[in-house]
Amino acid sequence: MPIVTVVYVLTNLAYFTYISPQVMVESGGCCREFWEYHLVSCPVDSCLCGTVLFGPHPWILFTPQPAIVLCWSREGQLPAALGLVLGVFTPVQSLIFTCFLSMMYAISQDIFSVINLFSFFTWLCVGMAIAGMLWLRFTKPDLRRPIKVYLFIPITFVLGCVFMIVVSFWAAPFECLVGSSIILTGIPAYLLGYKWKKPHVVKKMLEIFTMFCQKIFMSVPEEKGQHEAAE
């Protein structure tokens, strides 16, 4: 992580040093401008820039989210079909569900709106999660904590998230309002999917869907021993 941080900081410093503010504002991509201005210009440069930019996105979209969906399903907050695993901790249904949600980003024709919306989602959700952990740190100090860090680290991170959220609202208020509306839809979904005592018909339909997913994907629920080992 320190190496990645240093590389990113030096890269952005190189952009600000060698690219004029006017060119940076008018350019569609600072990386390509930097490449053409200081290195060589060839058809390969666009492919290399696209590869560098695309590389982290599958990890961002597919690595944490399926695990979160799996945990939500395991806790009963999502259908049990999304909590099935294949082989050694492979959440196939969670991956497919997350892939479907990720593909919805392609609906918008304005890539900058998608970036602003995704950035707002990320900073808000991550900041709230870390703030919740800080709250538990003071209200329930006896809870088991596998990872321990100095308090100034998460506090600084939460302050940084607040700064990014404020900047996002200032730069793209419409996208942030849309993102806030989408997040708020989770409240009725939580009440209907978790708190609501489902009638027998709904439970039977969910059981049939879960069995169908088990047969199609050859997946099973996690055993208790596997669950404890994963934690």
3-state secondary structure of 44: helix
Q: Which of 100, 73, 78, 96 is nearest to 221 (CA)?
A: 73
**Average pLDDT in the 136-157 region?**
87
**110 vs 105: CA distance, rounded Å:** 10
Strand-pair category, 84-85 with 220-221: antiparallel
Contact 79, 206 (CB under 8 A): yes
Domain boundaries, the chain: 1-54
**Average pLDDT in the 66-92 region?**
77
**Spacing of C-alpha 226 from chain mean position:** 25
Tokens 């989770």 correspond to 186
With the C-alpha atoms ordered 58, 60, 61, 65, is the resulting torsion angle positive or negative?
positive
Tokens 């695993």 correspond to 85
**Average pLDDT in the 115-142 region?**
86
Quote the pLDDT of residue 190: 81
Q: What pLDDT digit, counting tens, does each position of 174-219 carry?
A: 888 888 888 888 888 888 877 888 888 888 888 888 888 888 888 8
Instruction: Output the pTM of the full model.
Output: 0.62
**Average pLDDT in the 26-52 region?**
63
Give the pLDDT band (50/70/90) at residue 131.
very high
3-state secondary structure of 80: helix
Quote the pLDDT of residue 223: 67
The DSSP secondary-structure symbol of 88 reads T
Average pLDDT value over all residues in the chain: 77
Kindly tell me if the per-residue pLDDT of 36 is higher than 70.
no
**Average pLDDT in the 31-38 region?**
66
**110 vs 118: CA distance, rounded Å:** 13
